[in-house]
Amino acid sequence: MLKNWLVTAWLASPLAGEPPTLDGILAWEMALRLGMKHSGKTGRWTPLEEIPDVPIPLAQRTVSGKDVYCCSSPILPHPRAEWEDHTSKRFESAKLALAIAPERRKLLLTASGPYKSRFVPVRVRLVDRVCWFVRGDRQETNKLLKRVLAIGQHRAIGYGLVHQWEFTETEEDYSIYAPQKGKLVLMRPIPTGSGLDNVCGYRMSYGGYKPPYWHPGNQCEVAVPC
């Protein structure tokens, strides 16, 4: 049964990078369970028509002539602290060469490519939760989110660990618009067009408006909450 929910991810570790969209999380998890991630390699070069739609338990709404999921952008509280960490990688060629027989040794390019050294800055914020307003099926959504143990970037090294997923029912649907002083405040990226009539609180940009957000076929001129 479709209802309006405030979905909260309570975090047990700091969040690295930008918080993800909830419809993107659900689409990724559903694709894994359906085996779509293992059936073939998909990239920006793959035509959008060849990428199958991933069914997720969220309602859709036609905005400016295109279907978008009823799911707001991630909402963060004011961070208790914010700092910059770094992720690093280095190929110790001088030491590793000692483990290889002299006749087997060869030159490796370390100025670029997979063996290039890196020391990349990462934005880290200490927040206790990330929230989204959605309209969807709570039971099916919770089944998918139970397997999502971390969010954000660098999850494999301990950032963005999710302690608990929480659902709070809301009376109104704030997933796309939220009423404010006789106008509507934009809550998620939508394509530009008629969907911006009597809407405030946004800026113009270019990007995706539905999963997969990274694919060029889903990118256009969009209005982004600010």
Same domain, 111 and 147: no
d(CA 224, CA 9): 22
Same domain, 57 and 162: yes
Q: Which residues contact 170 (CB under 8 A, 6 or more apart)?
A: 4, 5, 6, 133
Q: Is the pLDDT of residue 106 over 90?
A: no
Domain holding 112, by residue range, is 82-123
- pLDDT tens readout for residues 15-56: 999 999 999 999 999 998 888 766 667 788 888 888 888 999
HSE toward the beta carbon, residue 18, CA cutoff 13 A: 5
Domain boundary among 91, 123, 155: 123
How high is the mean pLDDT of the chain?
91
Q: How many domains does the chain have?
A: 2
Same domain, 23 and 71: yes
The strand pair at 15-16 and 118-126 is best described as: antiparallel
Domain boundary among 123, 155, 178: 123
Per-residue pLDDT, 40: 67
Same domain, 72 and 117: no
Same domain, 17 and 108: no
Q: Is the pLDDT of residue 148 over 90?
A: yes
Per-residue pLDDT, 39: 61
Same domain, 42 and 114: no
Percent of the chain with pLDDT over 70: 98
Count of C-beta atoms within a 10 Å radius of residue 71: 28
Same domain, 149 and 194: yes
d(CA 21, CA 34): 20
Which tokens in the block code for residue 26?
A: 């659900």
- Please state the rounded mean pLDDT for residues 67-93: 93
Model pTM score: 0.87
Same domain, 22 and 45: yes
Same domain, 87 and 136: no
- Taking the CA atoms of the chain, what radius of gyration do you get in angstroms? 21
Per-residue pLDDT, 94: 78
Same domain, 73 and 94: no
Per-residue pLDDT, 96: 79
Count of residues for the chain?
226
User: Could you tell me which of 10, 17, 1, 21 has the C-alpha nearest to residue 133?
Assistant: 21
Domain boundary among 93, 123, 153: 123
Query: 148 with 27: CB under 8 angstroms?
Result: no
Query: 2 with 59: CB under 8 angstroms?
Result: yes
Same domain, 22 and 67: yes
d(CA 121, CA 107): 29
Same domain, 116 and 132: no
Query: 151 with 9: CB under 8 angstroms?
Result: yes
d(CA 185, CA 133): 13
Helices and strands (H and E) in the chain: how many? 3, 14
User: Could you tell me which of 89, 72, 84, 75 has the C-alpha nearest to residue 17?
Assistant: 84
